[in-house]
Amino acid sequence: PHLCRGFAVRAPWPVVGEEDKLLTRQAKFLRDSLKNFRTSAGKAKKGWKTATVLVADGYPEWKINALLWMQSQYNKSSGSFPPTFMKDLKVWSTANVSDKKKIKLTMQFVSFMKREVDEVGEMGMDIKCPFDQSAILNESVAYIKAQLNMAELSVASVDDPELAVPDRTSQNVSPGKPVLWMR
pLDDT bucket at 6, cuts 50 / 70 / 90? low
pLDDT bucket at 46, cuts 50 / 70 / 90? confident
pLDDT in tens, 102-147: 899 999 999 999 998 988 788 889 998 889 999 999 999 999 999 9
pLDDT bucket at 9, cuts 50 / 70 / 90? low
Give the residue-averaged pLDDT of 64-78.
Answer: 95
pLDDT of residue 81: 95
As a whole number of angstroms, the distance between CA 142 and CA 47 comes to 20
- CB under 8 Å, gap of 24 or more: what pairs does 30-36 form? 30/136, 30/137, 30/140, 33/137, 33/177, 33/178, 34/144, 34/147, 36/177, 36/178, 36/179, 36/180
pLDDT in tens, 158-168: 989 899 888 88
Which of 4-18, 51-65, 90-104, 117-131 has the lowest average pLDDT?
4-18
As a whole number of angstroms, the distance between CA 151 and CA 76 comes to 47
pLDDT of residue 48: 80
